[in-house]
Structures are given as structure tokens and as C-alpha cells.
């Protein structure tokens, strides 16, 4: 069973808002810094959050990023309402992409987002329903020194 | 190498775009790409980024990965919103009319290193 949540926060992500893509990941990074989380964990989680946020902006209508901090772990979930992913195994392959020109102009859409999220996460889970949306769960394990009471 | 020494290496071909930049920051490594996905997958904190992309996603990528400074190559001028975001994030941004290859070549020959990517296999 999960232990008590020490901190939680939600961020809204709007589909198509390419100008502000990354703002939630940036806020998240600053929050984790203030809490005093290990810098390597912050960096890996911020990268995964940024990739996830760019995906919501690109492929979904709307999304919610939630951060839950427990004494022993951080759980980041990103849930969106959108087109979903038809074949997750294919989407996880580096280089596979269905990106639009708009996102390619931002330097994304190379088919590296999901594999990079998985690489940076301690535990990575993804589920998706076509025409409904996608849910990502990224867990980072903490040791005792990471979260102060 | 300090950022001001990097500017010196690039001679008159380099212009500082931000106000009151900290030119004393130390840069040991550099990464060069127009693909932010690549940078997110490989960058190390404290690096210098060389890129021809001027979207504000470049600055977000630097902020998220801990990249210390950016040089826009090929004389590609970033829009005001990119410079504004760089200012808010305290990331110095420079502009050069040299190509990516020339900029990399000059800085590499002056001792700036690239990062080594570990192979998965």
C-alpha cells in the first residue's frame, strides 16, 4: 500500500499551445528544487515531464500533469484527452513518429520522446485508448535523504 | 573555458543578444544540434548549446537540461519571445554568422570538448 503523500500539485496543459510548451515542466523543476530533491532525480524527471508535455501539446486537446511526492518516491502522471496511441509498442520504438510540421519546427517529432521518458524514469507505464487519450506514469525512487518532513 | 573567451575565439562573428549576460560562466563541454529531442536525450548540465533553431523550445530545453548558454549559428536571429524567455531563465544567448560546422570547428580546436554518448549495447 502507498504511504502518505507529502506534496501534490497539478498542472493543466492545453493542446496546440506550442508557445508555452514546457512551462509546466519548468514549474515542476523549480518546485522539486525548492523541496530539496536530489539534482539528478530532478533533471531526469524534468526531462521526462517536458517530453510528456510536448506530446500533450502536439497530440491531445487537453491534459493534466500531476506530481505526487511520497517519502520513498515521486509519481508523475500525465493524462490527456486526445487521439490516443494505436500501437504502443511501435510508438516506443526510437525513431517512430507521427509528428506534424509544427512540432518538427520546434525541434521535436523525431520519435525519441517516449523512449527518452522511459530511459529517465525508474518505472515507466503507459496506457492508451484510441480517440480517448493516453496516460503516462513515471516513478522516481527516492532514498531517505531526498524528502524532508 | 569562460563564455567571454568563447566569444573571443569567434572573433567579430559573435554578438551577445541578452542584456547583462554573465560572461564569466565556465563552459567545458558543448553540444550542437537543431533537434531538441537529441539534446534532451544527451545533454549534460553546464554545457554550451550550438543550434540553428530559434524557437523558444530551445530555451526551455536548456532550462530543463541545465545547459548554461546558447549560440545561435548561421545568423539566425531568435524572435523576441525567445530572447525574453532566455532572460527570465538567466541563460546567455549569443549570435554568430558562422555555420554550425565552422563554429564547432573553431571551438573544438580551442579545446572545448564534446560529450561522449555511452552505447546501449
pTM: 0.90
Is A109–B56 a contact, with Cβ atoms under 8 angstroms apart?
A: no
Which residues of chain A make contact with B38, given a CB cutoff of 8 A? 110, 112
Per-residue confidence (pLDDT) for residue A1, from 0 to 100: 54
The C-alpha cell at A117 is 521518458
Residue B14 has pLDDT above 80, yes or no: no
The C-alpha cell at B52 is 540553428
Phi-psi region of B75 (alpha: psi -120 to 50; beta: other; left: phi over 0): left
Strand ranges of the sheet holding A123-129, from the earlier edge strand across to the other edge: A7-14, A60-69, A73-82, A133-141, A123-129
Q: Determine the distance in angstroms separating the CA of B33 from the nearest CA of chain A, rounded to an integer.
A: 9
pLDDT digits (tens, 9 = 90+) for A4-21: 999 999 999 999 998 899
Per-residue confidence (pLDDT) for residue A149, from 0 to 100: 46
Q: A3 pLDDT band (50/70/90 cuts)?
A: confident
Contact B66, B45 (CB under 8 A): yes
Cβ-in-10-Å burial (0-12, 13-18, 19+) of B103 comes to buried
Per-residue confidence (pLDDT) for residue B121, from 0 to 100: 58
**Closest partner residue to A51 among B35, B40, B81, by Cβ?**
B40
Q: In terms of DSSP bridges, do strands A133-141 and A73-82 run parallel, antiparallel, or are they unpaired?
A: antiparallel
pLDDT digits (tens, 9 = 90+) for B64-113: 999 999 999 999 999 999 999 999 999 999 999 999 999 999 999 999 99
pLDDT digits (tens, 9 = 90+) for B41-67: 988 889 999 999 999 999 999 999 999
CATH superfamily for domain B3-104: HprK N-terminal domain-like (3.40.1390.20)
For chain B, the structural domain boundaries read 3-104
Nearest to A50 by CA among A67, A28, A25: A25
Q: How far apart are CA A91 and CA B6, in angstroms?
A: 40
Per-residue confidence (pLDDT) for residue A144, from 0 to 100: 56
pLDDT digits (tens, 9 = 90+) for A86-142: 999 999 998 888 888 888 889 998 888 999 999 999 999 999 999 999 999 999 999
pLDDT digits (tens, 9 = 90+) for A18-31: 889 999 999 999 99
When the pLDDT of each residue in chain A is averaged and rounded to a whole number, the result is 91
Q: How far apart are CA B30 and CA B43, in angstroms?
A: 9
Domains located in chain A, CATH noted: 7-146 (3.30.565.10)
Per-residue confidence (pLDDT) for residue B52, from 0 to 100: 95
Q: Determine the distance in angstroms separating the CA of A13 from the nearest CA of chain B, rounded to an integer.
A: 15
Which residues of chain B make contact with A119, given a CB cutoff of 8 A? 41
Is A29–B64 a contact, with Cβ atoms under 8 angstroms apart?
A: yes
The three-state secondary structure class of A7 is strand
Number of A to B CB contacts under 8 A, please give it.
68
Q: Is A48 on the interface with B (CB under 8 A)?
A: no
Per-residue confidence (pLDDT) for residue A147, from 0 to 100: 54
Per-residue confidence (pLDDT) for residue B77, from 0 to 100: 92
Is A21–B60 a contact, with Cβ atoms under 8 angstroms apart?
A: yes
Amino acid at each position: 500500500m502507498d504511504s502518505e503523500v507529502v506534496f501534490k500539485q497539478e498542472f493543466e496543459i492545453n493542446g496546440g499551445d506550442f508557445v508555452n510548451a514546457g512551462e509546466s515542466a519548468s514549474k515542476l523543476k523549480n518546485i522539486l528544487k525548492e523541496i530539496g530533491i536530489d539534482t539528478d532525480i530532478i533533471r531526469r524527471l524534468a526531462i521526462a515531464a517536458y517530453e510528456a508535455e510536448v506530446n500533450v501539446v502536439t497530440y491531445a486537446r487537453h491534459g493534466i500533469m500531476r506530481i505526487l511526492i511520497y517519502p520513498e518516491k515521486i509519481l508523475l502522471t500525465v493524462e490527456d484527452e486526445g487521439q490516443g496511441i494505436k500501437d504502443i509498442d511501435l510508438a516506443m520504438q526510437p525513431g517512430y513518429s507521427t509528428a506534424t510540421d509544427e512540432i518538427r519546427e520546434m525541434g521535436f517529432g523525431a520519435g525519441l520522446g517516449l523512449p527518452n521518458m522511459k530511459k529517465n524514469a525508474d518505472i515507466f507505464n503507459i496506457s492508451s485508448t484510441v480517440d480517448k487519450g493516453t496516460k503516462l506514469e513515471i516513478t522516481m525512487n527516492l532514498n531517505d535523504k531526498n524528502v524532508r518532513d | 573555458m569562460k563564455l567571454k573567451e568563447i566569444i573571443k575565439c569567434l572573433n567579430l562573428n559573435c554578438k551577445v543578444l541578452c542584456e547583462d549576460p554573465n560572461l564569466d560562466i565556465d563552459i567545458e563541454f558543448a553540444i550542437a544540434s537543431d533537434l531538441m529531442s537529441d539534446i534532451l536525450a544527451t545533454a549534460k548540465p553546464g554545457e554550451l548549446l550550438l543550434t540553428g533553431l530559434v524557437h523558444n523550445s530551445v530555451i526551455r530545453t536548456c532550462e530543463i537540461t541545465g545547459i548554461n548558454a546558447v549560440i545561435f549559428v548561421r545568423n539566425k536571429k531568435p524572435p523576441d519571445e525567445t530572447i525574453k524567455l532566455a532572460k527570465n531563465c538567466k541563460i546567455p544567448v549569443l549570435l554568430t554568422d558562422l555555420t554550425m560546422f565552422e563554429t564547432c570547428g573553431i571551438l573544438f580546436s580551442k579545446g572545448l570538448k564534446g560529450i561522449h554518448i555511452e552505447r546501449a549495447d
